[in-house]
Each structure stands twice: as structure tokens, then as C-alpha cells.
Structure 1
Amino acid sequence: MKIQIKEVSSSADLNAFVRFPFKHYAGNQYWVPPLIRDEKRYLSKNNPVLKHAELQLILALYNGKIVGRAAAIINHKENEASGVKHARFGWIEFINKIDVSKALFKYLEDWSKARGMTALKGPFGFTNFDKAGMLYEGFDQLSTMATIYNHSYYPKHLESLGYKKLADWFEFIAPVPQETPEKIIRLSKTIYERYGLQDINVKKKKDIQKLLDQFFPLVEASYADIEGFVPFTTEQIEFYKKRFYPFINPDLTKFVADKDGRLIAFGITMPSFSKALQKANGRLLPFGIFYIKKALKKNDLADLYLIGVHPEWQNKGVPAIIMNAIIEGFRKNNIKFSESNPELETNNKLHQLMANYDTKIHKKRRVFIKELYELA
């Protein structure tokens, strides 16, 4: 099976790259499509991350037909901060033919080595706000707006090509309790009183807007030790504000400050947009925007999108405050179930907190790595 690798070099190529998964997952009830317009914009030269990152998109062709795709990425800012020379792969898709995946990864590895990289890891995006981790359990579960869905044969292909586990993430789902566990209520009250913590009242979206200058530095501090973390630039912060701000419901957020008014913790949850995006099928018009707005206002499922606590406060029970408030917001908005974003398997403190609720792990995903010097 002779596979041709074509570098994406035109708007027509980019269009084909973005649209390939729509055919690849046609009829799959668990895949959640992106918005085509947003995906094109994100992968274009207008993305501010490309001021300090390299990107090459590729297509795999067989007899002129697209059978796979991938993105080769080097985030120089990450490498400088961590002292490594790692390339990333992302946006990876391929049919169930080893010749296809082998051709894609040969290109990715050769591209990375030609630029002096010593390892290739993924799937990752550019930053921590991008989708990451290849699904290896939970193929019969509905995906989310913020996570990757892939066919069950993907991890097997990577393992056969010499890729090994770098990190695993788990995703939890749980019914929203009719009452908050008494243990969490007592703990929250004690923490507030002991440290003089205070809530930051957020009633409207414009209230959140005022917090964003403190929010992004706190995200960086909270997630600095996570694999693949990349600090944000000013341009990226403005880019992400515009990208995610429309999806936020203030009732499903929580912001906590210390006694001096400094933001130390946050919880951002969102109504699930999975079914709305499936109905939109990549387009906002004519009806996609209606499905999304409806999901924002009326929904029985929420995604625990992002929870962060400043390192100075991570061992003082502050996550319990965030969870307590989030659950109250869920009940207020008639949310019946909640699903976490991917959480590191080594995040034992979060796992212990989740044990207070009727949670179960329903998806597992993995980031792989391959040392490239072994190929020389």
C-alpha cells in the first residue's frame, strides 16, 4: 500500500485537513465535531502561538484519496522552559491500515529530527487549552467539546510503532447529589473561617471579564508542573478570551480570593455542548448557533472544564470550597450529571475529593512519547 504524504500548503488543503474527520467518523454517535470555522482559524498563521511555535500540517493520501492527517508541532517556549528538545504531534487521524499510520509518523519523526528534536510526544495541541491525550478506554462514551475522540485501534498502532506511555488521564462522571456531602460543607466552612477567604461574586459575564487579568496568571501557577504545560503570551490570552468567553455561564463558575482580595482559586464549568455540536455538524449557520444557545440555557449535563488552585493553597482544602459551590450551581441550573475534564492519574488529592461523590471513571486517555535518537 503506497502512501503519499502531502504537506498542507493552501486554503484548499487546510479545508480538506479540517473536514477529513467528518467523513472518518461519519455515523459514529460518540464523536463530537469541532466548528469548522474555528478549527480553520486556529490552525492558520493568525494563531498567536505560532510566534514562538512551528507547525506543519500533513495529509496521507492513497490513490489520491485522503486516508489520514496529522500536525507536527514544536513549541519553542515549552522547550526553553523545560530544557528539552521535544516535538509534538496532534490532530492525528488515520484509517485502520498500519501503512498509513507508519507513513504519517515517519514524516513526523523525520520532520522533528531535522529540527534537532530528540523526542516526539502526543497527541497534544499547542498549549494546555488544547485537546490532548489519546482515548484508550471509553470508546462507547460521548466525547466532549474539550477532548479528543478516536477509534479504538489508534493506541495499538502507536504501540506497534514504538511509542510508549508518557502520562495517563482519567475522566470522571457523577450524578449531581441532591445534597452536598456534610463532610464537604463542614470542611468548606472551616477553611473560610481559618484563612479569612472570601467569594468573588460573579453574576454576569462582565464580572468574569474583570477577573481575567488575574485568572490567566493563576492558571499558569496552578498547572505549571503538568506535562506539556506552556506559559501564555499576552496575545494568546486575548485569543483565548475570545474563543471561550461565549460558552461561559456565570452560575457555573466559582472564584475565591484570599483575605487581601487576591484570586487564589477558580472553578469553570460549562453546560455540555456535545449534542449541540453534533447537531450543528461543524457549522454555526443556519441552525448551529441555535443549538448552542439552547444548550447554554437548558441542559442536564455539565462539563467540569477547569479547576485551579494556587500552589500555596493546594494543601489547605480549598478544592473542597470550589466543588461545594459548583454543586450548588448545578442544582440551581437543574444539572443532573457532571463530567470532569481529563485529570492526571497521579492527581491523588483530586481523586480523594472525587471519592466523596458517586463518581466513576468512564474514560481513560494517554499521551505517548518516542525517543528519536534511537532511530539514528
Structure 2
Amino acid sequence: MREWRARYTDALTKNNYGKRRVPDAITSGDEIGIEPVTDKRGRVAFVDLGRAFSARLEHWVPQLRSEQLELVDPAKNPFFGHGRAQFFIAHRGGKPVGRISAHIDELALAMPAEQGFGPGTGFFGYFDAEDERVASALLAAAEAWLAGQGMTRALGPISLSIWEEPGLLVKGQDHAPMIMMGHHPAHYAGWIEAAGFSTAKRLFTYELDISHDFPPLVQRIVQSGQRNARINVRRVDKSRWDSEVEIVLSILNDAWSDNWGFVPFTPEEVAYAGKKLRPIIFEELNMIAEVEGRPVAFMLTFPDVNDALSQIKGKLFPFGWFHMLRWLKQPRPRGMRVPLMGVLKELHNSRLASQLAFMMISKIREEAHGKFGATRGEIGWILEDNQGMVAIADTIESTINREYVIYEKDLG
């Protein structure tokens, strides 16, 4: 394996500045070729290859193909307004056997290095491989492209943004993922680690039974907040959608600004996310907390649309659209996911911050189970060292059900 990897690395030519670059196609002695994607046809092949790999996995839920195509399209995904990417497909014997992306986010480069990203940090993502040799070749291609762009460190898998699908699933393959969470085979971890990557950060999701009330301690905290005239926890108002989205994203950009891996949302991304998420936003499940009339916290909850996607196999046509419209009109999901919450930074480490969180999640739990019939909740992802969120998850008696790892490697 080491000899093969050395032959592959030697195949990477150098430009006039001495930086590695990836040729149009790279073929090793055992005929693994790495081809860069250069057009729409290539992007379609890239997405379909990923779907083919995922279809092999137990508990995989096919996502909407049209949405996946948009995410890798520079003309449609606003990530490309501040980022650039190169997609690669591996071939052997004339057949596609793997894929990977290498990408750079200018906003991530501008962040302080102590927050996880910063100068010199590039990324890989959309990682799938037939075997370890293919994996090694793909990772080497991504590293070479990033080094050729002046990057000194590779981080991943992150596909494409930290706000989309970060991390490799290393624990939790025994059950289906909820909406907007990745699902990967366990053996990918060994292949990435064998290529010289080490753990940079772990992300957890927590699950809980929402068919019964929270523990007495949480109930007392919620009741105390309800007696406080300064506090108002209200539903998101979809009749004022644009202003509500602006409130949520402004709190998010402030609340998460010191977190590991934070990259701010741009106005274009706010508009894009608002348009995409609106169909699955139900007012009863999404809360904004106000103190003396000022919005200071929010919590978003999505019904697990994977219930519906599993039935239409990720395809809207010819008849999937009808099923989706009917589901969205009156969803009865088994699960609900809380993907995002935030409290203004000025309130961090205060009793009020945790009280607002418990008040919002308590209201959401009542609606999720009482109106929508859901019995299972999932919170996350949560950074392993986010003590505040971990404490909240522990207090409501939730348990870790999925673990993701983001890896890093020095390219020097």
C-alpha cells in the first residue's frame, strides 16, 4: 500500500512555483484514475455516484436528487459566492469507484485559527470510495489540489459548508438519519486515518423520548420563567417570514460567533436558506424568545421529512411530488429534529440563557407530540466541548445516538 501511494504521489506534477497540481487524469499502476469534474454532466455523474454508494447502506434515506444537484452547482448554491471547489471522480477498469470534493471557503480563511479554521485551511468532502486504495488516491488528489491553491491544512469531511453536512458518521449506523444529517459506512474512518488524518473535532446528536414530559427540575425552571413578566416565548410568525428569518439569523451569527468552526451566513445564504426551509417550518415547532420585547434567543425544529423521502425514494417525479405535498400539508412524523438554537452571546453562561432554552424546548415538545404525534426527538449536532448545550441535553435526559468526526491533516 505504501509503495502504491508513493507511486501515486509521484504522479502529481509540479507547476513553475513548485506547488503540486492535479493533472486532468491520474492513473496508477493498478489503473485507478482520478478525473476532475469540469461541467454539468460531470456534476450529475458526481451526485449519482454518491447516491449509488449510499444506496448500499442499511437505513439510508434517499434525499431529493434535485436538491443534491443544486448544492454542487456554482450557479445555484450561494456557498460559491465566497468559496470554490473541485470535484473528482475515481475510475478503475472504466467504472466509477469513488468521489471526493476539495474546496476552499474565503470566509473560513478569514476566521481566527483558534476557532478551528483560519488561514491556510482547506476542506475535503463528498467522500465515497470502493476500497482503501481508491480512498487513498482520492484523498491524495484532494490534498494536491488544496496544496496547489496555497493551503497548508486539510479538514473534513465537510460537504460543502459547516452548515450543510459536517463530519463522518463513526457511530450510529444502526438507525436511519434524521433530516439533513449524513449517513456513512463505519469503515471510511479507518481509510481516512490510514491516509494520515487525525481527529480535529467530534460532533454528537442526542435523542430522547418526547412522548412524556421533561424531568421535574426542568418543569420547575420552565414554570419560573413563565411567571417572569419580562420573558415572552412566542412562535415564529410565517406571515412576517422575511423579518423572522432575519431575526433568527442575526441571533445565530452572534450566538455562534465564538464557536469552533463558525463561519457567518451571508445575506445570499440567508435568502437561500429561508426559501428552502420555509415548506418544513411549522409555526408551532419554532420559537423565538424575547426579554422585555427584544428577541434574544431562538430554537428551530424540523419534522423528520426523511419519513416521506424514504417512501418516494428521493424522487419527486412522476408521483413523488403528490406524496410530498400531502405530507407537508399534514405531517405525522415519528421524529423531530432540533438542528439549531442560539442565545445572544451577552447572555451566555447566565441562568437566563438555560431557562430560555428549557422554555422553548418544552413548548416545542408539547406541540411535537400533542399536535404532530411525534414520539422521538433529536438535538444536534452539538460540539463535544460545548458545555452549555451538553448540559442542557443531559438535563432533559437525552442520550448520544450518533457521533461524527471531522478530521485534519497538515499538508506541509
Q: TM exceeds 0.5?
A: yes
Note the C-alpha offset of 1:101. Answer: 0.7
Matched, 1:330 2:362: no
1:253-310 CA-to-partner distances (Å, cap 9, x unmatched) read 1111121x22211111111112322222232222323343454421221112211111
Letter in 2 for 1:328: E
Look at both structures and tell me which one has the larger radius of gyration over its CA atoms.
Answer: 2
Aligned partner of 1:344 in structure 2 is: 383
**Aligned residue for 1:228?**
261
Q: How many residues get paired? A: 370
The yes-or-no answer on 1:255 pairing with 2:267 is no
- Report the AA paired with residue 349 of structure 1: G
Match for 1:5 among 21, 34, 54? 34
Greater displacement, 173-182 / 187-196: 187-196
Question: Are residue 80 (structure 1) and residue 110 (structure 2) matched?
Answer: yes
- Post-superposition shift, 1:27? 4.7
Whether the 8 Å contact between 1:146 and 1:341 is mirrored in structure 2 is no
Residue 365 (1) aligns with residue 399 (2): no
Structure 2 CA distance, aligned partners of 1:34 and 1:221? Answer: 31
Pairwise CA RMSD: 1.9
How far apart in 2 are the matches of 1:367 and 1:80? Answer: 20
Q: Residue 251 of structure 1 aligns to which amino acid in structure 2?
A: E
Change (3 A) 1:194 1:180: same
Report the residue type matching 2:212 in the other structure. Answer: Q
Residue 281 (structure 1) aligned with residue 317 (structure 2): no
Q: Structure 1: any 5+ residue segments left out of the alignment? A: none
Shift in Å, 1:41? 1.6
Q: Distance in 1 between matches of 2:62 and 2:369?
A: 28
Q: What SS is found at the alignment partner of 1:330?
A: helix
2:158 alignment counterpart: 124
Correspondence for 2:357 among 315, 319, 324: 319
Instruction: Specify the alignment match of 1:147 in structure 2.
Output: 181
| Partner residue, 1:301 | 335
Distance in 2 between residues matched to 1:148 and 1:9, nearest whole Å: 25
Mapped contact 1:89–1:123 kept (Cα < 8 A): yes
Q: Is the deviation greater in 188-197 or in 312-321?
A: 188-197
Shift of 1:192: 5.2
Does the CA-based 8 Å contact 1:52-1:76 persist in structure 2? yes
Q: Is the 2:169–2:183 contact (alpha carbons within 8 Å) kept by the matching residues of 1?
A: yes
CA distance in 2, matches of 1:303, 1:33: 18
> 1:80: how far off?
1.3
Does the 8 A contact of 1:127 with 1:229 survive in 2? Answer: no
Are 2:233 and 2:359, in contact at CA under 8 Å, matched by a contact in 1? Answer: no
CA distance in 2, matches of 1:162, 1:237: 36
Q: Distance in 2 between matches of 1:302 and 1:267?
A: 13
1:303 is paired with a residue whose SS is: strand
Q: Report SS of the residue matched to 2:90.
A: strand
State the shift of 1:229 in Å.
1.7
Which residue pairs with 1:64 in the alignment? 94
Quote the offset at 1:248 in angstroms. 1.2
* 1:246 is the counterpart of 2:284: no
Give the match's secondary structure for 1:40.
helix
CA distance in 1, matches of 2:210, 2:340: 17
Counterpart residue number, 1:26: 55
The answer as to whether partners of 2:37 and 2:88 remain within 8 angstroms in 1 is: yes
Moved more, 120-129 or 250-259: 120-129
Match in the other structure for 1:109:
143
Alignment partner, residue 292 of structure 1: 324
Q: Is the 8 A contact 1:180 1:324 kept in 2?
A: yes
2:304 paired with 1:272: yes
Runs (4+) off by over 6 Å = none
Contact 2:300–2:341 (8 Å) recurs in 1: yes
What are the ranges of 5 or more consecutive residues in structure 2 without an aligned counterpart?
1-29, 113-117
1:208 offset after TM fit, Å? 4.2
When residues 164 and 216 of structure 1 are mapped into structure 2, their CA distance, relative to the original with a 3 A threshold, is same
Structure-2 separation of matches of 1:192 and 1:311? 22
* Segment of structure 1 superposing worse, 185-194 or 241-250: 185-194
Q: Call closer, same or farther: CA 1:341–1:137 in 2, change over 3 Å.
A: same
Corresponding position of 2:17? none
Structure 2 CA distance for aligned equivalents of residues 112 and 161 of structure 1: 15
Please tell me the residue identity of whatever aligns with 1:356.
Answer: T
Q: Is the 8 A contact 2:123 2:158 kept in 1?
A: yes
Q: Is the contact between residue 50 and residue 126 of structure 2 (CA under 8 Å) also seen in structure 1?
A: no
- SS of the aligned residue for 1:30 comes to coil
Distance 1:194 1:275, change over 3 A: closer
Query: What amino acid is the match of 1:44?
Result: D
1:360 to partner: Cα distance: 2.1
State the Cα deviation string for residues 38-81 of structure 1 (Å, max 9, x = none).
11122112122212211111101111211111111100111112
